[in-house]
Amino acid sequence: MLKVSGKLLSIIDDSYASKKTGERILQKTLVIMDDGDVDTSKVALNAAQIAGGSEMAFSKLINKKVDVAVSVFAFQGGGHKLNAVGTALPLGNFQSDLKTAV
């Protein structure tokens, strides 16, 4: 399993309109600063993960250390995209963090 760890800086709304149907496609991006405060990673959440509560869980953990399981999609011309896997809920004992989050 690949994992991204670090301080959750923000959650960006990356929703867009489908070119085929014009329907709004719900998507969010987690911006996570690595533990060395050197680089950020952007991890995409899809509509099913958001509906399952992942955005709500992460929104309570802004400016806290988080871990999220990811998959990597490599583009043919170079570059990559990190996608949260499974339910996209924070890894570890995040339930206690959610209870104490302000």
Question: Domains along the chain?
Answer: 2-91 (2.40.50.140)
Average pLDDT over residues 84-98: 74
Asked if 34 and 44 count as a contact pair (C-beta separation under 8 A), the reply is: no
Which percentage of the chain shows pLDDT scores above 70?
A: 90
Predicted pLDDT at 76 = 87
Q: How confident is residue 94, by pLDDT bands cut at 50, 70 and 90?
A: low
Q: How far apart are CA 71 and CA 81, in angstroms?
A: 8
Contact (CB, 8 A) for 12 and 43:
no
Q: What is the pLDDT of residues 18-40, one digit of tens each?
A: 999 999 999 999 999 988 778 89
φ, ψ of residue 70 to 5 degrees: the values are -135, 160
Across the range 55-69, mean pLDDT stands at 93
Q: What pTM value is reported for the model?
A: 0.82
Q: Are 73 and 43 in contact (CB under 8 A)?
A: no
